[in-house]
Structure 1
Amino acid sequence: MQDKMQNKMKKLLHWVNGIKLRYKLAIIYSLFCFLPVMLLFLLSFLQMRSIIGDKEKMNLQSYLQQSVSSMDRTLDGYNSLSDYIAFDRTLAEVFSMEYGTPYEQYEQLTQKVDPILRSSSYFHGGMQRITIYTDNGMVKHDTTVAPVSEIEETDWYQKTLEHPGINWFVNYQEKTLFSARKLAFSGAREGVNILYMDVDYQKLFTPYAETLISECGLYITDQEGKLVFEESRFSGKNQNYDLTYSEFLEQRDRGSTDYTILCEQSNTTGWTVWLYQPVGLAGEAMRPIVVMAGVTILICIFAAVLAYFITSGMVSGRIERLTCLMQEVQEGSMDMQVGSDDRDEIGMLYRGFGSMMKRIRTLINEVYLGKITQKEAELKALQAQINPHFLYNTLSLINWKALAAGEEDISRMTLAMSTFYRTALNRGRNVLQVEAELSNTRAYLEIQSMLHDGDFDYEIEVQPEILQCESLNLILQPLVENAIHHGIEEKTDGRGKISVRGWKEDNCVWFMVEDNGVGMEQKVADKILTMESKGYGVRNVDERIRLCYGEKYAMKVESVVGKGTKMTIHFPAKQLVDIQKSQSS
């Protein structure tokens, strides 16, 4: 991380060094007179926009809460009336009596039931009808009493029986609203008694239509998301902001930033009241502030441009030449010779810049050549640890003995080891064909599969067109080894699998080694290629590729806990024959 920060700082310094001195001075003057004013107005604008936006949202939320509270108070009044009727002893007595003649029943209904239900409707505005449906044998009486058979086929009747308490039902198309509940009169005969209360739909929702804030839309939905009520109020020029219910649902579900959408739930019915307002219309109050800020910014820009022209006339030819040299350095030219015989401050800049360039070239050569030498020495030291001829002869003898004894597994492992070490040593060379590198990897996987009793699967899939391309020696085996030891061996559930894939893309050879092991957190994976990692094999592969081909060919490590790890490398696609010819020439 520290190296990345240093590289970014160097790039920034190179960019700054590439700007002409006249522009630097002009920028400094402009910033001192322009930036503070612009920042002040920008902060004021953002603060004002935030305050106005929050206030607008608070107003909408306050309106929404008040309207829902008003609706709940009205519905609570109807619910209280329903409770009053449900627990009325007089009604319980009437519906529990045995009647000898229809006249006795008629007398009880007219003298007791009608006054209670009709007075309740009278004293509660918006109540259109109260009816008790019963199956105790009573005949229909006006609008107050009716047999249950009239409602048995309705959907709301079944829901009322299944859900005790007060149930509210609404039909948006027919604009009807009513509550229903099952009555359990104390002492009444066993049977079904349903209290039906029909409420004026328009009267309940009229306050929304009358008090809705301008340039807003409103929807009320029940627990199942069905539409209960809708209203919108947009002026003529803003009618295109009005949303149909399906358009509103789309905006709501995708978290639209074009509309401010608020909601409040009714505690009485469980309905949800949705209020939406276009964000652009909500910021109308910001238009004067935007105009003022724009004018101020234009004035500051004019002042900065004026300062630029004044300062640009103060530069000299020597400064121009020095800045051109810096620009060349920024573009990658590091071989220039810079010097000056002048003894003034500008001459000192020339000499200092020339000395700096010499030092940079020296350090680059020392570090680059030193790293390449170090890596080649490390690889050759590793290869030199094994006597190739002795090893091959020994493995050949073991293979012959195994075949003679009928031990095919031992023979197969011996052949795999012979293939692995033959390609790994590669006669001391650091470069080989992709086909040989894949042969080495396949042999290593075969050996590991036998060592692990075949506990994991592996596959190697490569495009034929890359088989003759150049590859550094031993760049896949450390990645496969890391996948086995840190991914597959620690996996406790399921069967492990390692995939090696190779392809050609953008004139580069690409390899990916992937496992389905235990994985790791991405922040841990990012440290594998740094000095903080305890392992060396994977980091060595990354360093060798970057040293031989450049920093842009760095390895990429991706990992997810519980899913596995994926390592990807790539390098230029070059035919090994072409490279050998160019080296010999």
Structure 2
Amino acid sequence: MVLPPILILGLVAFFETQALFRRDQERVFTEQIDHVTAIANRNIEQVDRSAQALTFNTGLAVFFETDYAGTSGIYGVYEALRDVFDPSISYTVGINGMIQKVVFYTDSPQAGVRENIISLREQNVPRYIRQYRMQEDPQWIKSNGRLYVLSQFPDATRVRTIVALEIDADLFQKQVVLADNTVQTGLYQGSRYLFGADIPAATGNRIRTVHLNNTDWSIRGKAQPAGMTKYGRNVILVMAFFLCLSVLFVVLISRFFTKQILGIIDDLRLKVQAVTNQDFNVDFHSDQQDELGNLSNLIGTMMESIKRLITEVFQTKIYKQESEYNALVNQINSHFLYNTLSMINWQAIMSGNEESSRVIQTLSTFYRTTVNNGRAETKLKLEINNIQAYIALQLYLQPKLFTVTYHVDDTLLEYSVINLMIQPLVENVIEHGFQKLPKDAHIDLTVKRSGSAAMTITVADNGQGIAPEQADQILEQNTRGYGLKNVDRRIKFYFGEQYGLTITSKPGIGTQATIKLPLTSTIQPASEEYDVLAALAHGRHE
């Protein structure tokens, strides 16, 4: 029983050592790539400065723009070559050992006076010169195994002149390409391979791509797998030695404590076995301050909770039987009332009293949807029928007391809701919101979606309103809420704490009561535990 944890610890230590070794390799790999990138960026920057020094050289610009045939003739060309052109080229090549050759491609009359001054109109002008377009930074290209850096004299000149610096490709490659047992690098232009190691584009700790400054070139590096170093092997051997010592020590210590622990566990086992034989009076109390003592005390606390829950479940069963009986009585009484109302309605029709017939039919609809055969669940369309019947009866009793508008999303009518949850809201408006009846008293009932999985039912009025602190207390415990507290409690009982009733109000403007419900086709209590406790609370306090 002791060896598995020790072996696991050894394996963890081994893999951690391996991980440390890999992290060290990754650090070296990153440092090497950064070093090569820094060298490449420095070389590019130096060559770029040399190219820009030539293209922004005013003496060279004047040389290429001047028509010496109309001024000083051949001697003027000679002086310009001697005093301006040759010194500029010599300085550029001499200061940067990576530049092998400088060539100018130009529309200038001076094209052809030197071997490295070539007319752009010649047929043998390289393709990359013809395709070149002026850019802010010099352009690096590779053609036929050679490296070139291209830059153009500014557009302010009257002739087009492109300077091409030929770079020592071997020297540049030696400085930026690594090829050893640990790291390989290659140079790319976008996805095009230039030279060095041809490394496939990928991501991960072993392949890294770094873009070079002022170019569309990048360096791609790949770390080569390497074996464990001598240092790593020594660490493993030392850890294995200490693991063996740990195993021996743990075996000796475990044998010492095993007898004591087994005695306590055996005593606890006998007590639990007595409980399984339905002896709930076993005393699990322990004065020990260790884990086993705490476990014994926790089991004792659990047994007290089990005994209490058994009593509560028994009481809940009694309450459920009483509720089923009451629902049956209500159903019997409702059938009697429906038959009576139907007879009265028929007599009113026979006597030609259509107004009385409509009132009786409305009353029958209201009573049928209110009783709902003793069930808590109903459809939204039946709940809307109930509140419409209730409001119609109120207006029969007090014509022109208020006006009402309905805004109901027809796509929600078949969803299940709790029976008799809108009527208390409207009754609260009539009895309290319209105590000081305004001239244009109005109730607005709106049913709409709230997101993709919920709906809201809002009853708004333009009555006298209530103070904000009173609105906050309406739904609190032991506060008179005109039936609203019961509506909120029933919603939370069936759907959970995220749903329920909220009330907002402004004195002199009106009150808005909003019910939030989930979109569901069946209704079940939020949880069995909540069902039992809620039923008990209902039976004790209602």
Q: Report the TM-score when normalising by structure 2.
A: 0.54
**Deviations 1:17-74 (CA, angstroms, capped at 9, x unpaired):** xxxxxx9xx99xx99xx89x969x989996x888766655554443333322222222
Is residue 274–residue 282 contact of structure 2 (8 Å, CA) maintained in 1? no
Instruction: Specify the alignment match of 1:236 in structure 2.
Output: none
Q: Is residue 307 of structure 2 the alignment partner of residue 362 of structure 1?
A: yes
CA RMSD of aligned residues (A): 6.3
| Rounded Cα–Cα distance in structure 2 between residues aligned with 1:128 and 1:327 | 95
Q: Which of 323, 343, 346 is equivalent to 2:269?
A: 323
Q: Which of 146, 171, 183 is equivalent to 1:216?
A: 183
Q: Given the superposition, is the C-alpha separation of residues 115 and 185 from structure 1 closer, same or farther in structure 2, using an over 3 Å criterion?
A: farther
| Rounded Cα–Cα distance in structure 1 between residues aligned with 2:18 and 2:29 | 16
Q: Is residue 335 of structure 2 the alignment partner of residue 335 of structure 1?
A: no
Q: Which runs of 5+ in 1 are unaligned?
A: 1-22, 232-243, 405-409, 431-436, 462-472, 479-488, 500-512, 518-530, 545-563, 573-585
Q: Secondary structure at the match of 1:194?
A: strand
**Deviations 1:363-386 (CA, angstroms, capped at 9, x unpaired):** 121344556778999999999999
Q: Which of 60, 65, 69 is equivalent to 2:34?
A: 65
Q: Secondary structure at the match of 2:177?
A: helix
Q: Is residue 28 of structure 2 the alignment partner of residue 75 of structure 1?
A: no
Q: Given the superposition, is the C-alpha separation of residues 452 and 496 from structure 1 closer, same or farther in structure 2, using an over 3 Å criterion?
A: farther
Q: Secondary structure at the match of 1:83?
A: helix
* Deviation at residue 302 of structure 1 after TM alignment: 4.8
1:181 corresponds to which letter in structure 2? S
Is residue 94–residue 108 contact of structure 1 (8 Å, CA) maintained in 2? no
Instruction: Specify the alignment match of 1:182 in structure 2.
Output: 152
Q: Given the superposition, is the C-alpha separation of residues 356 and 536 from structure 1 closer, same or farther in structure 2, using an over 3 Å criterion?
A: closer
Instruction: Specify the alignment match of 1:202 in structure 2.
Output: 170
Which region of structure 1 is more displaced relative to structure 2, 116-125 or 89-98? 116-125
Q: Is residue 247 of structure 2 the alignment partner of residue 293 of structure 1?
A: no
Is residue 86–residue 185 contact of structure 1 (8 Å, CA) maintained in 2? no
Q: Given the superposition, is the C-alpha separation of residues 138 and 327 from structure 1 closer, same or farther in structure 2, using an over 3 Å criterion?
A: farther
Is residue 103–residue 118 contact of structure 2 (8 Å, CA) maintained in 1? yes
2:104 corresponds to which letter in structure 1? I
Q: Is residue 494 of structure 2 the alignment partner of residue 541 of structure 1?
A: yes
**Deviations 1:436-488 (CA, angstroms, capped at 9, x unpaired):** x6x72564589999975355744869xxxxxxxxxxx967999xxxxxxxxxx
2:59 corresponds to which letter in structure 1? T
1:167 corresponds to which letter in structure 2? Q
Instruction: Specify the alignment match of 2:107 in structure 1.
Output: 135
Q: Given the superposition, is the C-alpha separation of residues 184 and 339 from structure 1 closer, same or farther in structure 2, using an over 3 Å criterion?
A: closer
Q: Given the superposition, is the C-alpha separation of residues 214 and 353 from structure 1 closer, same or farther in structure 2, using an over 3 Å criterion?
A: closer
Instruction: Specify the alignment match of 2:55 in structure 1.
Output: 86
Q: Given the superposition, is the C-alpha separation of residues 294 and 130 from structure 1 closer, same or farther in structure 2, using an over 3 Å criterion?
A: same
**Deviations 1:50-109 (CA, angstroms, capped at 9, x unpaired):** 876665555444333332222222222212221221233432232112143996797578
5 Å-filtered alignment, 1:438-477, equals 440-441=379-380, 443-444=382-383, 453-454=407-408, 457-458=411-412
2:304 corresponds to which letter in structure 1? R
Query: Which structure carries more relative contact order (alpha carbon 8 Å, separation 6+)?
Result: 1
Q: Determine which structure has more spread, i.e. the larger CA radius of gyration.
A: 2
Is residue 379–residue 413 contact of structure 2 (8 Å, CA) maintained in 1? no
Q: Secondary structure at the match of 2:379?
A: helix
Report how many residues are paired: 415
- Using the aligned pairs only, state the percent identity: 13
| Rounded Cα–Cα distance in structure 1 between residues aligned with 2:126 and 2:419 | 74
Q: Given the superposition, is the C-alpha separation of residues 91 and 285 from structure 1 closer, same or farther in structure 2, using an over 3 Å criterion?
A: same
Q: Report the TM-score when normalising by structure 1.
A: 0.51
Is residue 187–residue 194 contact of structure 2 (8 Å, CA) maintained in 1? yes
Is residue 207–residue 220 contact of structure 2 (8 Å, CA) maintained in 1? yes
* Deviation at residue 490 of structure 1 after TM alignment: 11
